[in-house]
Amino acid sequence: MLAKRIIPCLDIKDGQTVKGIEFENLIDVGDPVELGKYYSDNGADELVFLDITASHEKRKTLSRLVTRIAKQISIPFTVGGGISSIADAETILSAGADKISVNSAAITSPGLIEDIAKKFGSQFIVLAVDAKPEDGKWIVYKNGGRIKTNLELFSWARQTQSLGCGEILFTSMNHDGTKNGFALDPLKKLTETLNIPVIASGGAGSIDDFIEVFNYSNVEAALAASVFHYQEIEISILKEGLYKEKIPVRI
């Protein structure tokens, strides 16, 4: 059985790591390069960096930040934010990222996923999906959770898988930052619906939450931010707890 991955997520705004609750009320929590090195040195399996205010003008700044990060860490890392073309993807991968994450641009132009997959390979593409339940359906949002779309989570995930996406990073918007646990039912359904790995995101507040999501669903990784940034959970202690519950992890 493959080891389950623990992934700290660093949301980046104007070069600094920030965190909020339900995608709002962002506060500064530190330098992304320093935090990335800390997590790399202390047991994280991968990292995700998302530039939540990315724009064409800031793309070069993000590229330089990726290069700085790559020099400081020894684990794979994914970078997302404003990637809307093969050229954007190539810039970030060339700067040192191991994978790129797409979200809003893929919603606007689903063919982008297919184009990037053909150019670089599916293993380089992570589709980030932000969604929340409305009237019995999980509705997808874009632009950092600010704009509602007409897409439904599960059908969108299946479509992107068929286009060549290599992994799904699903964030439950109404769990994000609440520390009340992951959105278990949609995560379970995603893992039953898809043939590609699913990363759980949104709601981690305790070691038990990680144990629960791995036992309840077949997600291959769990991502969190504030509980790691504020050292409420140490990754080494988290992994010890998972190991005791017979959940395979890299110690």
Find the mean pLDDT for residues 198-220: 97
Look at residue 22 and tell me whether its pLDDT is greater than 60.
no
Find the mean pLDDT for residues 10-35: 73
Look at residue 203 and tell me whether its pLDDT is greater than 60.
yes
Q: Calculate the alpha carbon distances from 63 to 67, 126, 140, 209, 236 in Å.
A: 6, 18, 28, 34, 30
Find the mean pLDDT for residues 52-71: 77
- For residue 106, report the phi and psi dihedrals to the nearest 5 degrees: -70, -35
Q: Calculate the alpha carbon distances from 228 to 9, 44, 180 in Å.
A: 9, 10, 15
Look at residue 27 and tell me whether its pLDDT is greater than 90.
no
208 is catalytic: no
Separate counts of helices (H) and strands (E) for the chain: 10, 12
Under 8 Å between Cβ of 132 and 171: no
Find the mean pLDDT for residues 61-74: 92
List the chain domain ranges. 5-244
The predicted structure's pLDDT at residue 54: 60
Looking at 81-183, list the stretches that DSSP marks H as alpha helix, in order from N- to C-terminal side. Answer: 86-95, 104-108, 111-120, 153-163
Find the mean pLDDT for residues 72-96: 94
Residues 6+ apart with CB under 8 A from 54: 62, 81, 82, 83
Q: Which helix (H) or strand (E) holds 231?
A: none
C-alpha–C-alpha distance, residues 7 and 186, integer Å? 19
Q: What is the CATH class of 5-244? A: alpha beta
Find the mean pLDDT for residues 74-79: 97
130 is catalytic: yes
Which position among 45, 51, 88, 130 bears the catalytic label? 130
The pTM for the full model equals 0.93
Question: Could you give the 3-state DSSP secondary structure of residue 208?
Answer: helix
User: Residue 82 — pLDDT band, cuts 50, 70, 90?
Assistant: confident
Q: Give residue-wise pLDDT tens across range 160-190.
A: 999 999 999 999 999 988 899 999 999 999 9
The predicted structure's pLDDT at residue 11: 86
Which position among 11, 45, 88, 209 bears the catalytic label? 11
Which of 161, 165, 130 minimizes the C-alpha distance to 148? 130
Which of 153, 26, 15 minimizes the C-alpha distance to 81? 15
C-alpha–C-alpha distance, residues 133 and 45, integer Å? 30
